[in-house]
Each structure stands twice: as structure tokens, then as C-alpha cells.
Amino acid sequence: MKTHINVQNLNAFYGEHQALRNISVEIPEKQITAIIGPSGCGKSTFLKCLNRLIDLTEGVRVSGKILVDGTDVLDRGIEITEVRRKMGLLPQRPNPLPMSIYDNVAYGLRIHGTRDRKALNEKVEHYLKIAGLWDEVKDRLRSPAAKLSIGQQQRLCLARGLAVEPEIILCDEPTSALDPLSSQHIEQQLLKLSERYTIVIVTHNIHQAMRLADYVVHFYLGEVVEHGEASEVLENPKDERTRAYINGTFLTQIKIDTEVNLKGNKCPFNFVYAKQALHNLEPGKVMRVIVDDPMAVTEVPRGMEADGHKVLNVKQINSTDWAIVIQK
């Protein structure tokens, strides 16, 4: 696997407070790397160092190296706008520009020299399509971006970010402000985009990390305590602190009160049946659902979470089946 971003001995201080301690990680090209860890452990600081948005914070000191395609991003002599162009940032809350849907996407294109109307039209359509928003907005491109739903605004921000042709997409909890359906849209786009872009996503949601990540980096109090393939880190963590963090989110060893086999059922019926089965359980009890419909692997957990239940684990158990463990 080719390394795209090579971080070496990265330290960051806010005044006296050290937010990042000697971080060394290699982020692979055209893969999704998820950064997980408790609040305040330095995840956002790390992302901001990558694209040097950290420069905007007063009193910050950063040391170490961040090599992107061989160039050290932290080198004072480099052209920072060029570095930022290589890295699109998808923030926690969408931040569309106060202009039309069309102009939000065209904005970056114009800055980078596309003026011709026909070329602009084509490119705006192209990026709205890869962000998965085109069909919903193609008839109202001139209406203000602010009129879109939050989830649509987030996909618009994705389109706007992609329009300047970055190589790397940085996302800081990009779905935490979104409803389950909009989150699913963003996740689907990110999975598709990982064929062409290197993606780094900060997430609080272990299930999201499971659905998306190829690699996982676990931050703890400003340090990287574990880093590796997602399946290894999430299912078989070596570090006690990673184990504790993941167990805090869902338990790996858990007593199952009832098991429901929903193999052969397609979405949305498997969700409906799972819901009915859960209905008969007492609160706090745990149900394991077996499904063989790939759609159900994302849909059932999402629906259950939306209904206020806790999804404790989602795991592929053989070549066709998945087990979803839900606590009422």
C-alpha cells in the first residue's frame, strides 16, 4: 500500500497545553482512514495540522513533519494555498456559501480558471453527481444553497470541495449533525470516493468506522495508541486503552437474550421483523439478528439507532451472513 501522508513526530501545543504528542502515522493512498478516540484527544487538532488550518489559531506551536507526496506541509517555505487545494475539508456542520447551489460549486472552479459557461455547467453537474446531489437539485440550481436541508447542504459542501480537484478529503465528524438518511448518503459517497481519493475521517461512531474504514488510528490523550487495519483495531485491539474505548461504545463479550434469524428477508422487511421481535423484549435485553441481505447490514442498525435502541455490534460471521447485536 502506497503511503500518501507520512506524519513523523508531530507535536502540537496550544500555549502550555500539549494537544498532540509525537504522532507518527502513515496514511495510505486511496483508502479510508478513520481517526477515533474520546473527546479532547486531539483528533480535530490533527486534521487541522494536515491542511495547516491550525495556522489560524493563535498561540499554537507545531513541530515534526507531515510529508504529502514528499513535500513537508509544515515547511514554512511551501505554497500553502497549493497544499490546501490538495486537501478538501468536509466540516462537522455544512457551511455553504451565501449564494446559489450552482455558484457554490462554480466558486472554486472560477477561482481555478474555468470561465467558459458550458465548461462550468458541465463541471457543476459532474461534481453534484459525484456528491450524490444532482437529481435532487437539478431543477433549482439557481435557488439559494441555504434553502437545502442540512443533509443536502453537506453533500453540496462535498461537491464544492471536490470541484477544486483535491487528492485528499479530510472529514471532521461529517455526519454528526445529520439525520440517519443523510448520514447514509454521505457515507455512500465517501465509500465511492475512496476509489479515487485518500480519505481521513474523524468519527465518534465506531459503527461508522466499521462501515467505512480500511485503516483506523486510535488517539488517546494526544497520542496514537493503536494504528492498523480496521478489522484488526476494531475487532481485536491490542492496546488495553483501545479495547476499553471500543468496549465503552459496545461490548464485545455480551450476553445475548434472544436470537432472530432473518435470512432470506430483504430490506425493509428484515428491519420490520427485527423491530417486531425487539418489541416483545424487556428494555435492556439484547437481541442478535442474523441477516444475509447486504442492505440490512447498514439499514437495520441505522433504523434501530433512529428508534433509540443501542446497536452493540455488527459483524460478518461467514461468507453470506452478518450478526447485528441490538440492545433494547
Ligand X SMILES: Nc1ncnc2c1ncn2[C@@H]1O[C@H](COP(=O)(O)OP(=O)(O)OP(=O)(O)O)[C@@H](O)[C@H]1O
Q: Which residues bind to Mg ion, rule: CB under 5 A? A: 44
* Cβ contact 209:216 at 8 Å: yes
Cβ proximity to ligand X: between 36 and 168 the closer is: 36
* Cβ contact 61:12 at 8 Å: yes
- Of 223, 160, 220, 158, the C-alpha closest to 193 is 158
Contacted by 301, from ligand X, Mg ion, none: CB < 5 to 8 Å by type = none
* Cβ contact 20:49 at 8 Å: yes
Please tell me the distance from the alpha carbon of residue 62 to that of residue 18, in angstroms, as a whole number. 10
- Binding residue for ligand X, selected from 31, 42, 104, 230, defined by CB under 6 A: 42
Q: In sequence order, which residues have a C-beta less than 8 Å from that of residue 232 and are 6 or more positions away? A: 238
Stretch that binds ligand X, among 22-30, 38-46, 242-250, 257-265 (CB under 6 A): 38-46
Cβ proximity to ligand X: between 44 and 189 the closer is: 44
| 81 touching ligand X, by CB under 6 A | no
| 291 touching ligand X, by CB under 6 A | no
Work out how close the CB of 41 gets to ligand X at its nearest, in angstroms, rounded to a whole number: 4
Cβ proximity to ligand X: between 218 and 302 the closer is: 218
Stretch that binds ligand X, among 13-21, 22-30, 67-75, 289-297 (CB under 6 A): 13-21
- Of 50, 130, 128, 39, the C-alpha closest to 87 is 50
- Binding residue for ligand X, selected from 1, 9, 24, 40, defined by CB under 6 A: 40
Work out how close the CB of 55 gets to ligand X at its nearest, in angstroms, rounded to a whole number: 12
In this structure, what DSSP letter does residue 282 have? P
All three cell numbers of 255: 450476553
All three cell numbers of 87: 486537501
| 23 touching ligand X, by CB under 6 A | no
| 17 touching ligand X, by CB under 6 A | yes
Count of chain residues binding ligand X (CB under 6 A): 11
Cβ proximity to Mg ion: between 103 and 172 the closer is: 172
> Which contiguous run of DSSP H or E holds residue 127?
helix 117-130
DSSP assignment of 95-142 equals ---SSBHHHHHHHHHHHTT---HHHHHHHHHHHHHHTT-HHHHTT-TT
- Binding residue for ligand X, selected from 31, 33, 45, 154, defined by CB under 6 A: 45
Please tell me the distance from the alpha carbon of residue 278 to that of residue 272, in angstroms, as a whole number. 10
Please tell me the distance from the alpha carbon of residue 307 to that of residue 96, in angstroms, as a whole number. 30
Cβ proximity to Mg ion: between 85 and 204 the closer is: 204
Please tell me the distance from the alpha carbon of residue 128 to that of residue 52, in angstroms, as a whole number. 27
Contacted by 294, from Mg ion, ligand X, none: CB < 5 to 8 Å by type = none
| 44 touching ligand X, by CB under 6 A | yes
Query: The dihedral of CA 12, 16, 19, 21: what is its sign?
Result: positive
Q: List the x/- string, 52-71, binding to ligand X by CB under 6 A.
A: -----x--------------
Contact positions toward ligand X, by CB under 6 A?
A: 14, 17, 19, 39-45, 57
